[in-house]
Structures are given as structure tokens and as C-alpha cells.
Structure 1
Amino acid sequence: MKASRLLHLVLLLQTRQRITTSELAERLEVSRRTVLRDVEALSTAGVPVYAERGRGGGIVLLPGARLDVSHLDPPELEALSVAGLDSEQRERLGLSTAWESTERKIAARRAAAPEPPAPSSLAELVLVDSSAWFSVPGTAVDVADLASALRHRRSLRIRYRRSAESRASTRVVDPYGIVAKSGRWYLVADDQGDGRLLALERLSWFEELDAPVELAPGETLRTRWAVLKGRTERQDRVSVTVRLRENRLDLARRILGTRIHDVSDAEADWCSVVIRYPDVESVRQLLQFGDHIEVLSPETARERIGQLARDLAERHTAPAP
């Protein structure tokens, strides 16, 4: 812990060269006395840093001193390799500390560059948040534990509940790895030779087996994911045409995403939208648009949404039990 703190102190000084003891103590979350002891330890080790007393004083790194401390350690490289994850996902994988250290080193390296900095860096202008809207991601198993187990490249015995099942079943799978997609985690694995996407919120338990993992020849996590992702997105076999109020179109794009296939003008304040679903039953998703939507075709989809609406109306006519 102390080595990490000393490195952080040096990185801060490389970006500023002079920082007050109080500010360093606040940034490092230690006392001012601890900061002074750390400075003394660095100075004894040959680092050109010292405490300057008096008005305008503070902790100073000698001008022109540049320490090559920006090389990334293996954990930091690992954190950088999954840079698309959000803070909660990194925390669950145990990479938060390594990520913070990586960011500090990158900032120090940027500050040490001889070229003048650009007016605005991409880090100031682009923010990536891969978490899903309106959701609180949760998994029954610990993602970090699962990721650690996957490193051993062994088969897993898991307890998993399919989406259409009420109870979980036990099976043995050969895992390729895990994928974070739109705020949800998936285990990519072969189940008796067939590729599967297993949602982690429905994975209640796992254990490593002694048998080494047996993967399809030439397949990797990325190639298997690409096939399974494409298969999932091509399951849209039913095209449903609806009338939707124009002031709900942006909300529909956010909720339905790539399921929206086409949008065209229909009449004043309304638009025509074609939505692709894997089956007619999926039109129940459209109930959330209430009286802002009308299903036009196919007739089976219109009948199903009508039946669902009648069931809801009947259920809410009588007083709640």
C-alpha cells in the first residue's frame, strides 16, 4: 500500500511540480505527517523531492526532474485491455485499483510529453458509459470469481435457468469467456459442442472441473461471440407495423434500439414504424407505450396486443385484493 502511495505522490508532483502538504494529504487520503514521512523516504531513496517551508511552500519536485514511472504493470495492462467497462463492472472484476493507477500514469505521461497539449483532449470530450438505461445490473454469481475461474481453462459445471424455464438445471459447459453487453454479463460457452450465450443473472452456481476445457478448433471468445451475437440479432422473423405518436419516437428508439427497421410519416403527430421481433408474443413489449401506439399489422400481432390490453383492463377494473 505504501509503495502505491509513494508512486501516486511522485505522479502528482510530475504534473504540478509543487503541491501543498495539505492538498497532497487530501489527495492521498492520509495525514500531513504521513505525507512528510513519505517525502523523506523518497528523498532518502534518491528521488529529487523535498519539503519547502514558509509562505508559498509545499512539496517540490526539482525542475527538470522526470522520472520514468509511467510504464504499466501487468495488472494495469489488463485493466487497460478492458477499457470499455464502466466503473461498476471494473469493480466487480477487481480492476478498480489497477485502472486508477493506469489513469494516473497516463496523465503523468501526457504531462511529461515535450509537445504542447492539444486545446482539448478526447478524454475531456468523450465519455463512454456501457451500462444499460433504467436497469440495476445484478448477477447471482460473483463476476470476479467467475473470471478468475476461467483463467484456469477448465470445464465448468453450472446451474442455469433458461428464460422460458421456471427452474434451473445442471449442465457441464466449456467456457470461452465472459462478455459485457449493454450493461448485462454473458458467459460464452459450448454446451455439448453447441455455442451458447448464458445470461449471468440466470446463472446461480458454478464449479470448476478437473477436465481441461474443450473448445471448437480455431474458435476464440471473439469469434464465438461474433457468431452468437449475429444469430441473436437475426432472430427477428416477424415485422410489426405500428402507428406511434411522433413525440414518443425518441423514447421508442431508446427502448427498442435496432429492432426499429423503418420509420415514415403517416399523418399529423403520428408516424409509421416497422419493428422486428422474433415472434408475435414479443409485442407485449409495446404495452409500455400505452395509448401512444396502435398495432396495425400483422393481424395476429394486432389481435395479441388487443387480448393483452383487455386482460390488463379487466385485472384493473376490480379493486386490488
Structure 2
Amino acid sequence: MRASRLVSILLLLQTRERITARELAARLEVSERTVYRDVQSLSAAGIPLYDEAGHEGGYRLFGGYRTRLTGLTAAEAESLVLTGLPVAAADLGLGEAIAMAEAQLKLMAALPPESRDRAARLRERVRLDARAWYQDADAAPHLAVVAEAVWHQRCVRLRYLRWEAPHEVTRTVEPYGVALKSGSWYLVARRAGRSRIYRISRILAADVVDQGFERAADFDLSRYWQDYLDDYDARRTKGRAVLRLSHDGMHRLPHLAEPAVVSEVQKTAVTEPDSWTRVTVPVESHDQAVRELLRLGADVQVLAAAEFRSRMAGTVAAMSRHYNRGNAVGRGQAARGRGTGGRLNQK
């Protein structure tokens, strides 16, 4: 514990021009007397530090002394300043305040003076948030257990709720890694020689078992995850629709549609004589496409497929009936109100 505290004092001295014994004591949660003894020990070990007396005084390192205890180059430390995701670390059980503070301290200590200000500005002015808009993050009470199994390469027994029947199943898997996507955690694991994805919020129970496993030497988590996402998009958007978009529709679409849809619009766009644009887009299902395209209102027209066009037309017609009926009811209520008002005035 004392050795760790001595390292912390040394790193703090590297990140500050000067620091008082009182500040060190408060930061390390020890007494000022303990700080005095620790500073004497550092001096005895050959660390060139001295104490400036007075109101503006404090401990300082002499001659720009720096230690390489962190083992990080300046470029490495600068790049790591932006990799911290406090929410993700807390979810994984790695977000203890003391541990995170020590990690940040070591990063800052590894930076040369000319880069330290830049790193401080990055921390103050850039926020990384992995959660999706307008959604609460998935509840994942078994994430810490799964993460423990990943760290220690131990098999884990899952009771899992899936979409298809039978809905509740029990599986023993080899956990290779976890991934955070738009506020939801996923487990990448192997079972029966095949890699699979499990949404951690759908895990009903998880127990680490007393059985290790050997990771496949050629497995790359980042590459597997990206390949999975690409394949998922290809599988879920097998359908195609032909649309016409107004000038405003073409400008609004990039703000409403997925990148894959926008990309196809750009590739297939053909401007027609009336200034509308004919495009072909991928669709997951007709129901899903109707919901998405209704956001464009009158700036979109479905040409094909025939079933999709019919479903879109039926939805718009039903909406029209609702509003026409509402207008009739409104006019009737207004007329009755005028009649009542007239009688009251007569009284």
C-alpha cells in the first residue's frame, strides 16, 4: 500500500507545478504527517524534489525530472485520454472511483508538459456517450458475471430467453468477449465450435463454471463483430422498394433513414422531368418500411413493389378517414356550441 502511495505522490508531482502536503494528504486520504514521511523516503531514494516555504509554496520536482513508471509514450497517453467510457467501465465492474482516478493520473503523468494542457482540454471538452438517443440502456444484471468469465477464460452456463420457441433455453458457452452497441451489451461466445451473439439483457441467469477453455488463436473480436453487423444488415434488408422523392424529401431523408438506405439512394438516384427523384432502397419488411416512409409525409411516393405500394396507400387512406371523421365531429361540436351560445345570449 505504501509503495503504491509513493508512486502516486511522484506522479502527482509530475502533473502539477507544485502541490502542498495538505493537498497530497487530502488526495491520498492520509495524514499530513504520513505525507512528510513519504516525501522524505522519495528524497532518500534519489528523487530530486524540494519544498518551497511560504503561502505559495509546496513540493516541486527539480529540473523537470520525469519518471517512466507508466511505460507509455506521449502519443500513446494522448490517444488514451479519449478512450475512457465511465458508464461502460461501471457496467463491467471496473469503474471504482479510486481505480479510475489512478488511471487518469498515470495517463497525465506520461505526457510531456507541452501536451498535458492539450490532454486536459480534451478531457474537459469531449464527452463519449455510448447510449442511444431517447432510450434507457438495457438492464443487464448479469453483465459483471459474464465479464468475469471473459477475463478468466472460464465457461459460463446461461439461462437465456430467445425469440424463437422454445423461448427459454440453457446453454454452456465459451465467452470470448463483450461488445457495447447503442446502450445494449452483447456477449460473443462459442458453442459447439461456432461463434454466436447473445444479448446480455436477455440472460435470465449466469453462472461461471469450473471449466476453462482455449481461445481460438485466430479469433479477432473486432473483426468478428464488424462481420456480424455487415451480415446482419444484409440478411434483414433483402427486400427492395422503388420510390419517388421530392426535392425536400431528398434533403430530409439522410436525417431520417439508416446509412445503408442513404447510400443506396445516392447510388440509384435518377432525376425525373418534374424534379422528383426516382430511387431504389433496401427494406427490412413492408410494415417497417411503411412506418419509416410515413415520416416523409407527402414528399415520398411508393412505385414498387405492388404489395408495398398497396399497403402504403391503405395506411394513408385510413389516416385520411380518421381526419375526415374528426373534421366532421369538430364541425358538429362547433355548430352545437354556436346554437347553445345563442340561447344563452337570448336569456
Could you tell me the TM-score, scaled by structure 1's length? Answer: 0.71
Q: CA deviation at 1:307?
A: 5.0
AA aligned to 2:305 is P
Q: CA deviation at 1:174?
A: 3.3
2:36 paired residue number: 40
- Judge which range, 221-230 or 120-129, deviates more: 120-129
2:308 paired residue number: 301
The partner residue of 2:252 within 227, 245, 248 is 248
1:282 paired residue number: 288
CA contact (8 A) 2:155 2:213 kept: yes
Question: Radius of gyration: which is bigger?
Answer: 2
CA contact (8 A) 1:24 1:35 kept: no
Does the residue aligned with 1:245 lie in a helix, a strand or coil? helix
Q: CA deviation at 1:181?
A: 3.0
CA contact (8 A) 2:157 2:207 kept: yes
Q: Which runs of 5+ in 1 are unaligned?
A: none
Q: CA deviation at 1:191?
A: 4.2
Q: CA deviation at 1:289?
A: 1.9
RMSD: 4.4
User: How far apart in 2 are the matches of 1:313 and 1:265?
Assistant: 30
**1:92 correspondence with 2:87:** no
AA aligned to 2:200 is L
CA contact (8 A) 1:158 1:203 kept: yes
Change (3 A) 1:17 1:217: closer
Change (3 A) 1:311 1:291: same
CA contact (8 A) 2:176 2:189 kept: yes
Question: Percent identity, aligned pairs only?
Answer: 25
CA distances 1:120-166 after superposition (whole Å, capped 9, x unpaired): 56983995736143033223333232111223434333222334679
Q: CA deviation at 1:88?
A: 0.7
Q: How do residues 22-171 of structure 1 correspond to structure 2 at under 5 angstroms?
A: 28=27, 34=30, 36-47=32-43, 48-49=48-49, 51-71=51-71, 84=83, 86-96=85-95, 97-111=98-112, 117=115, 124=122, 127=126, 129=128, 131-134=130-133, 135-163=135-163, 167-171=167-171
User: How far apart in 2 are the matches of 1:240 and 1:85?
Assistant: 42
Q: How do residues 133-212 of structure 1 correspond to structure 2 at under 5 angstroms?
A: 133-134=132-133, 135-163=135-163, 167-212=167-212
More strand by share: 1
User: How far apart in 2 are the matches of 1:214 and 1:280?
Assistant: 44
CA distances 1:215-271 after superposition (whole Å, capped 9, x unpaired): 778545455435433321321211234436345334225xx2334322347589976
User: How far apart in 2 are the matches of 1:214 and 1:181?
Assistant: 26
More helix by share: 2
User: How far apart in 2 are the matches of 1:9 and 1:193?
Assistant: 50
Could you tell me the TM-score, scaled by structure 2's length? Answer: 0.66
User: How far apart in 2 are the matches of 1:191 and 1:308?
Assistant: 44
User: How far apart in 2 are the matches of 1:269 and 1:15?
Assistant: 61
Change (3 A) 1:16 1:307: same
AA aligned to 1:240 is A
**1:291 correspondence with 2:293:** no
Q: CA deviation at 1:93?
A: 1.8
Q: CA deviation at 1:276?
A: 2.0
